[in-house]
Amino acid sequence: MTESSPLHPGMSSGKARGAHRKRRMQSILIALAVAALVGAFLAMAPQSQNKAAAIDDAGDISWDMSGGTSAYNAMIEAVRQRATRRGPDQGSSTLREGMLRTNPANTDLFSIDVTNRNVGQSSTAPVGFRLLMRASDLFIVGWLVATPQGEEHVFFLKGDDTGYRGQTGRATFHEADFGGGYPALEKTAGRSRIGQVANVAAWETNFRNMIATVAGESDQQTVAQALLLFIPAIAEAARFDPIQASFAPTFQNANSHTITPAEGELMVDWSKASKQALASLDTGAAVNFRIDDPQTPGVDFEATTIQTLAAILAICLISAL
């Protein structure tokens, strides 16, 4: 029998040393591979943790829908300030003519915590929900609902999961079957955002439908329909002053507003308007922004100077460049 033990070097001692070196090299390679994996995990983990922590950094926004127009306007202003916040070495968030600008480096999420005291609720029903918004582009990526029993459920629109799992870090994760772009939302909702009616009754219904997702009582279509009001009323209103002005009265009394075709077009022209504003501010380029629904008298939205464009555009999308 060939002896390979160190105690019996014999004629096979060279093979033994070779096998030992081979095993040692394999161990080193395995250790290096494990170290690389751990390093990659550690490099990725802080980013997810930072994004998650930003939601609960005491800079988030509370909105009681029953507070009427004033509460709505205060929420929109808070969203604008939170989304465009910059560090001390990142310059001002305000451009000339009073327009704000997004911060492409700020990929954090923040929340709008939504309640509605006009909606009666049982002791077992959630008191509200929190919309999750990405600061860099004012894109609503999901929502979270917490039960009175302390259970949290976080819902992300398709493809937008950031790893945030609530204040406890243990929220049950759900992914919607649809994304947050208007084509996907409208397909799932079975209707267009244009023609959607906003009034107190509609807001109360859609508020109930959002919190009902935690109990599985709202299907994908119902949630998409609710988001077709909440997204324009928050994200688009933060971007555009005229859209804010259209929605603001709908939170009190018998006021109502129907999203018009011109408003629907404005909602997808944020990049176009931002490019014109930034080019005008940077180089003095001419402004020629126009949205005209032929079914309405007069031009719906028009700007030929940076001043008139600033009356439409509240926030410039910097990544538009």
pLDDT of residue 59: 66
For residues 233 and 266, membership in a common domain is answered with no
Residue 48, domain member (yes or no): no
pLDDT of residue 16: 38
Residue 42, domain member (yes or no): no
For residues 306 and 229, membership in a common domain is answered with no
For residues 84 and 169, membership in a common domain is answered with yes
For residues 227 and 279, membership in a common domain is answered with no
State the residue range of the domain holding 271: 262-320
pLDDT digits (tens, 9 = 90+) for 48-78: 443 544 575 666 799 999 999 999 999 999 9
Return phi, psi of residue 202, to 5°: -65, -40
- Give DSSP secondary structure letters for 22-68: HHHHHHHHHHHHHHHHHHHHHHHHHHHHHHHHHHTSS--EEEEGGGH
Residue 244, domain member (yes or no): no
Residue 2, domain member (yes or no): no
- Answer yes or no: pTM beyond 0.85: no
Three-state secondary-structure class, residue 10: helix
For residues 202 and 78, membership in a common domain is answered with yes
Q: Which residues of 100-136 are buried (b: 16+ CB within 10 A; e: fewer)?
A: bbbbeebebbbbbbbbbeebeeeeebbbbbbbbbbbb
Question: Which residue among 238, 253, 277 closes a domain?
Answer: 238
Kindly state the average pLDDT of the residues 237-264.
98
For residues 221 and 292, membership in a common domain is answered with no
Residue 298, domain member (yes or no): yes
pLDDT of residue 58: 64
61 CB-near residues (< 8 Å, 6+ apart): 75, 78, 79, 82, 110, 111, 112, 113
Residue 68, domain member (yes or no): yes
Three-state secondary-structure class, residue 219: coil
Judged on CB neighbours under 10 Å (0-12, 13-18, 19+), 252 is middle
For residues 267 and 233, membership in a common domain is answered with no
Partnered with residue 36 across adjacent β-strands are none
Instruction: Give the total number of structural domains in the chain.
Output: 2
CA distance 143 to 154: 6
Cα distances (Å, whole numbers) of residue 161 to 29, 83, 158: 34, 19, 7
Could you tell me which residue, 259 or 35, shows the higher pLDDT? Answer: 259
For residues 194 and 306, membership in a common domain is answered with no
Domain harbouring 227, CATH code: 3.40.420.10
For residues 139 and 223, membership in a common domain is answered with yes
Kindly state the average pLDDT of the residues 37-48.
36
Residue 10, domain member (yes or no): no
Closest CA to 238 of 319, 153, 147, 313: 313
For residues 297 and 172, membership in a common domain is answered with no
Q: Tell me the pLDDT of the chain averaged across its residues.
A: 84
Q: Is the pLDDT of residue 217 over 90?
A: no
For residues 228 and 277, membership in a common domain is answered with no
Task: Let me know: does 211 contact 246? Beta carbons within 8 Å.
Answer: no
Task: Let me know: does 102 contact 138? Beta carbons within 8 Å.
Answer: yes
Residue 74, domain member (yes or no): yes
Question: Which residue among 238, 271, 295 closes a domain?
Answer: 238
For residues 200 and 94, membership in a common domain is answered with yes
Q: Is the pLDDT of residue 266 over 80?
A: yes
Q: Is the pLDDT of residue 106 over 90?
A: no
CA distance 7 to 298: 100
